[in-house]
Amino acid sequence: MLKDFLDYLSSEARGAAVWRVVISFGSMLLVWQVLTSTIVTNRLLLVPPAEVFEAFVGEIRSGAMWSNAWATCLAVGTSFPLSVLVGVLIGLILASSRALSLMGGPMLSALNSVPIIALAPLFIAWLGLGFASKFVLVMLVSVFPVVLTTEAGLRAADKHLIETARSFNATRAQIFTTVTLPYALPFIVSGVRVAWARALVGIVVAEFFGSFAGFGYAVMAAGQTFDTATLLAYVIVLGAMGLFGSMLFQWLEGRLAPWRKE
């Protein structure tokens, strides 16, 4: 009985996916409740899930949740798509020329290793408080994973397939659209998923230092007043955004590269 249920959970059925989500989040809530009732009893450190839900509802009723969501989603919604576009274009350029890759690769690796988030105060000093500093910071922290995975995916294309296409007199454009790009799509989507997670981290840090609205600002304000329930409510919303984005990009990969499931 248990083995059959575990096999069902491992299947690709839609109902199995729902069960996996229910069991995963149910287990997390159970552990959370046990921790707050037996081990971590200090409400400044951790509060029960019911109190977090009450704080979440209170933020919605007061309108604070909506105003903060608008500020965060506006910055991420404009900067993240542009960072993906720029990252893919730079990756295409680097993959098209070995000389450009050898010259630009070390610089990109160095920039990717720099903790750009630590430079947030500097960007705020340059661009001021508000949208501009958040836009630039989110774009900078999320563009590099897309660049690296795009270049890697294009260079990893199956050489035998490329030679086969050339043997049928396919042009460079045809080889790119029918062989190279489809082969690289899973790499690119994986980079976009990583970039989405980094974008959420970037927007929170940017709002810590340079904003009067947004989820990051709300988390900082709740922390300063020791309002643990409200703080966790916004953290959970950010986690839900990350999960939704990851699921969306995974679905997009399945649509763009269905052969990956075969």
DSSP 97-122: -HHHHHHHHHHHHHHHHS-GGGGHHH
Helix, strand and coil in the chain, % to nearest 5: 85, 0, 15
What is the C-alpha to C-alpha distance for residues 211 and 74, in angstroms, rounded to an integer?
Answer: 13
Which among 216, 73, 72, 93 is positioned nearest to 146, based on CA atoms? Answer: 93
* DSSP-assigned letter for residue 180: I
Q: Which of 74-78, 115-119, 176-180, 250-254 has the highest mean pLDDT?
A: 74-78
Are the C-beta atoms of residues 206 and 121 closer than 8 Å to each other?
A: no
DSSP secondary structure code for residue 36 in this structure: I
Share the mean pLDDT of the chain: 80
The residue written with tokens 């993959």 in the block is: 95
Residue 17 pLDDT: 67
Q: What is the pLDDT of residues 73-103, one digit of tens each?
A: 998 999 999 999 999 998 888 887 777 777 7
**CA–CA separation, 116 vs 118, rounded Å?**
5
Q: Which amino acid is at 119?
A: L
Instruction: Extract the runs of DSSP E, i.e. beta strands, from the chain.
Output: none
Q: Considering only CA atoms, which of 215, 219, 231, 208 is closest in space to residue 129? A: 208
Cβ burial of 258 (10 Å; 0-12, 13-18, 19+) is exposed
Both ends of the chain: CA-CA distance in Å? 28
| CA pair distance 136, 140, nearest whole angstrom | 6
Question: Does the pLDDT value for residue 248 go beyond 60?
Answer: yes
Instruction: Give pLDDT, residue 8.
Output: 53
Q: What's the length of the chain?
A: 262
- Which CATH number among 1.10.260.40, 3.40.50.300, 1.10.3720.10, 3.90.1200.10 corresponds to the domain 69-257? 1.10.3720.10
Max mean pLDDT range (45-54, 66-75, 170-179, 212-221)? 66-75
Residue type (1 letter), 19: W
Q: What is the largest CA-CA distance in the chain?
A: 72
- Rounded distance between C-alpha atoms, residue 56 and residue 45, angstroms: 18
Alpha carbon of 34 to those of 21, 38, 41, 110: distances in Å?
20, 6, 10, 44
Summarised one tens digit per residue, pLDDT across range 191-211 is: 899 899 989 988 888 888 767
Selected residue with higher pLDDT from 123 and 207? 207
Half-sphere exposure of 160 (CA within 13 A, CB side): 0
